[in-house]
Homo-oligomer: A and B are copies of this chain.
């Protein structure tokens, strides 16, 4: 084996072990750590991140990377190593592109802004937020420019460089194109759905559902969805999330005593993320090529499990029995009630509470603003006005100066996570598109789902998505799985079928 490749692999193996530590220290922090652990944990995680950075940007790395590239060109390394080598270089490049001082300044500014945001949001204090946020924007622009400069022509815009961190491989041009069709059709579709739903009697599912029973129900749902409890756990945290390594997937949800549906949707969603991670190829798992492709694909897996499976009329039939078993007071609830209650559509202010039809509009609003911000076409102080205009245009709502329900509602921008938002809607589109392909070869999918059996879907996803890791670029992966790149038409069709035809 190539000496340089061996050196690279040893270095990335070591980096993967630091990532392992950061992963589980992060889980601990969100799930079990007492308050007193905050300061020592922050110190330890910062030091591990520095160690990781040092390993990833060690002076020999570029030599090794150049050397294996040359070996690939010369044919002395097998072609099968192409993606392996490409993804190691990509990981290295994303890390080395930003000077350590800029990383440090950005982390500091982001931490301060995020920390203060927690109180500023509650106080509707846009001016106070703006004061910190201007620095975050300035540093993120600098970061984007560094990334762009370092990538010699790879990125058409600075925002492309930020997108590449989260939506790796999906450019601003692509996303704008894909979102374009949605933008045209969604407002009319939304109006039609609301008109149709206005006459429906919605069953009231609120009640008193003890947490311990809801947890048993969530675990039952996870088992139906194929989660392996010998290789993972379900816990509780303030915001549901999924993390872990192959062999040990940790997901969380949160329970409300009055409402069981909320925890179940979050559980299904996170089980999708965890299934993707658990299904990544065994070989090369320490290396970048063995990891999940990007957040647009990751979110497609969580939304596949949440929206395409759990919320479907078919799977709802399978949910009735465990629901009645674990929450006996729901004995009068049938699968139609479940479906009707969970598919109500209504424009609202808060993204995380939005339904499936209005959610993409929340995302497009943010996408427009953050891309303009990073590309220098908008300033931070212009956000409230842009927000208000888009809310009126897309959802017919006025924030009316209540920024807590407007541009102060999300955590993402406060710490400089620009380029993440589009993955939610790219994920919804990819999920609908993948589901359409699966159904073409599994005509009896509704019978399968209705009997609580999603093993065929899991098998299909494993073969078409999970097992590929980062071997293909994201759009190549979509083409290989469905015959074409991400196409909003599939999401529109899905929404029509579910919300207008009420078939799904």
Residues of A with Cβ closer than 8 Å to B?
13-14, 17-18, 20-21, 24-25, 28, 32-41, 43-44, 47-48, 51, 228-233, 245-248
Contact = CB atoms under 8 A, between A and B. Distances in A.
A25 B231 CA distance: 16
A21 B14 contact: no
Interface centre among A21, A32, A35 (most CB of B within 10 A): A21
Given A34-B229, A47-B14, A230-B34, A246 B21 contact: no
Contacts of A33: 248
Contact of A21 (B44, B245, B247): B44
Given A36-B247, A40-B247, A248-B41, A47 B229 contact: no
Nearest to A47: B17
Given A28-B28, A51-B51, A20 B36 contact: no
Given A13-B47, A14-B51, A36-B228, 14 more contacts: A14-B47, A17-B43, A17-B44, A20-B40, A20-B41, A21-B44, A21-B48, A24-B24, A24-B25, A34-B229, A34-B231, A38-B247, A39-B247, A40-B246
Given A20-B44, A25-B21, A36 B233 contact: no
16 contacts: A14-B47, A14-B51, A17-B48, A18-B47, A21-B25, A25-B25, A28-B28, A34-B231, A35-B230, A35-B231, A36-B228, A36-B230, A36-B231, A36-B232, A39-B247, A40-B247
A245 B14 contact: no
Contacts of A24: 24-25, 28
A93 B239 CA distance: 46
Contact of A248 (B37, B48, B232, B246): B37
Given A21-B25, A25-B24, A247 B44 contact: no
Contact of A40 (B14, B28, B40, B248): B248
B47 A245 contact: no
Nearest to A231: B36
A44 B248 CA distance: 13
A434 to B, nearest CB: 26
A293 to B, nearest CB: 21
B14 A247 contact: no
A248 B34 contact: yes
A271 to B, nearest CB: 15
A13 B51 CA distance: 13
Contacts of A231: 34-37
A233 B28 CA distance: 12
A230 B38 CA distance: 11
Nearest to A244: B37
Nearest to A246: B40
Nearest to A286: B43
Contacts of A48: 17-18, 21
A232 to B, nearest CB: 6
Nearest to A278: B36
Interface centre among A13, A20, A33 (most CB of B within 10 A): A20
Nearest to A29: B24
Nearest to A19: B44
A45 to B, nearest CB: 8
B34 A233 contact: yes
Interface centre among A17, A230, A232, A245 (most CB of B within 10 A): A17
A210 to B, nearest CB: 14
Nearest to A247: B36
Contacts of A41: 20, 248
Interface centre among A14, A34, A47, A233 (most CB of B within 10 A): A34
B36 A248 contact: yes
A367 to B, nearest CB: 36
A229 B35 CA distance: 9
A271 B316 CA distance: 49
A47 B246 CA distance: 17
A339 to B, nearest CB: 33
Contacts of A233: 32, 34
Contacts of A232: 34, 36
Nearest to A232: B34
A37 B13 CA distance: 17
Nearest to A44: B20
Nearest to A36: B231
A300 B51 CA distance: 37
